[in-house]
Amino acid sequence: MKTDWKKRSNKEAVRDAVINHAKSMLGTSKGYLFLPGWDPDANEAGQCFQLGVEKKLITPETRCIGFECDGGVVDNISNFFATKYSDYDVKVRHSYLEKSRLEPNSIDFAFLDFTGNVNEDTYHWMRNILAPALTENAVVAITQPFGREVPELFNLTKERLATDLDLMRKALMKQFDLWGELDIDNAPGNIWGKYTLVVIGLTIFKCALRGYHSQLAHEIMVYHDKTETGNHIPMYTMIFDQIRPRTDAPVYPELILRKEDKTMTTRSKAAFKAHTTRRANALFAKRSAAAKKAWRTRRAQA
């Protein structure tokens, strides 16, 4: 995982990495899904799109579909593409991405350059709308902030990763090098390491696309970005590639559970707790037996 807190042009570097990676995987994109955004200083929209055009990842044949939830800037964005990129096939919709419907098998590249944290709606959308819209071997990049206030989905995921999905968390942290400076197995008081939110974000994505194979394509990029108010906020971007339906059973669990799944989880949490208690008691008994033996030996020697 890369952390570069000082570099000014962090966002440009991350955007570059995303576009370069998609270029290397796809050559040219057939269907691009994006959040163009509006830059009031430059009077421009969609820097990611523009870079894609520059690198010839996006061509006039690419069907581009952009979403913007902010009604105050959506007309600027539409006008920008209509005047500056009139030869290109760009549709801009005024809507939350989570409310969108996408044509199945139409997107080979998606850059979900979010400004806020994903929530339950995003999870359901990724699972039910985004996944079937992806073509075989699609590339998806997703940006998330290290928000202090997180949606309920984060608390729910964190709780499950600490209980019934404990093994999955350990596996993810090992596999994706997510424990920062901590050794997760030997720091039991602080096994979440520095990147709790990254572990949660990765879990949410992996579980939402549980019926699909997806590969983390690049190091997870952790960086500081500047908001409209001039504040610097830490963000991270993950790029996934080779996304395609799994032929075997999903390896990741369903995160948002139905009632009967919740009963199973409660049972499995109880079993996990009982196991932890038994293990702790056994360890205590072992330690106290060893301490007694050592004391007896010392007394005999004295």
Enumerate binding residues for ligand SAM (CB under 6 A): 15, 34-38, 46-48, 67-70, 96-98, 113-116
Q: Shortest approach of ligand SAM to residue 225 CB, angstroms? A: 8
What tokens were used for 61?
């044949």
Residue 2 Cα to chain centre, angstroms: 15
CB of 45 to ligand SAM, least distance (A): 7
CB of 276 to ligand SAM, least distance (A): 38
Which C-beta is closer to ligand SAM: that of 114 or that of 272? Answer: 114
Angle at 267 between CA 261 and CA 270, to 5 degrees: 140
State how far the Cα of 164 lies from the Cα of 162, in Å rounded to an integer. Answer: 7
Annotate 50-76 with b (16+ C-beta within 10 A) or e (fewer). Answer: bbbbeeebbeeebbbbbbbbeeebbeb
What is the smallest separation between the CB atom of 143 and ligand SAM, expressed in angstroms? Answer: 7
Which residue of the chain is nearest ligand SAM when measured via CB?
Answer: 37
- Closer to ligand SAM by Cβ: residue 46 or 134: 46
Question: Whole-number minimum distance, CB 30 to ligand SAM, in Å?
Answer: 19
We find the least distance from the C-beta atom of residue 189 to ligand SAM, in angstroms, to be 36
Q: Which is nearer to ligand SAM, 142 or 161 (CB)?
A: 142
Closest approach, Cβ 156 to ligand SAM, in A, equals 19
**Closer residue to ligand SAM in complex, CB, 116/245:** 116
Q: Is 34 or 109 the residue whose CB approaches ligand SAM more closely? A: 34
Whose Cβ is closer to ligand SAM: residue 35's or residue 107's?
35
Q: Which of 165, 149, 131, 151 is nearest to 255 (CA)?
A: 165
Under 8 Å between Cβ of 47 and 77: no
- Answer yes or no: are the C-beta atoms of 223 and 4 closer than 8 Å: yes
Q: Which is nearer to ligand SAM, 48 or 134 (CB)?
A: 48
What does 208-266 look like in DSSP terms, one character per residue? HTTTEEEEE-SPPEEEEEE-TTS-EEEEEEEEEEEEEE-SS--SS--SS--HHHHHHHH
Q: Are 275 and 232 in contact (CB under 8 A)?
A: no
Report how far residue 287's alpha carbon sits from residue 282's, in angstroms, rounded to the nearest whole number: 9
Among residues 189, 225, 216, 203, the alpha carbon closest in space to that of 15 is found at 225
Q: Smallest gap, in angstroms, from Cβ of residue 92 to ligand SAM? A: 11
Q: Which is nearer to ligand SAM, 141 or 172 (CB)?
A: 141
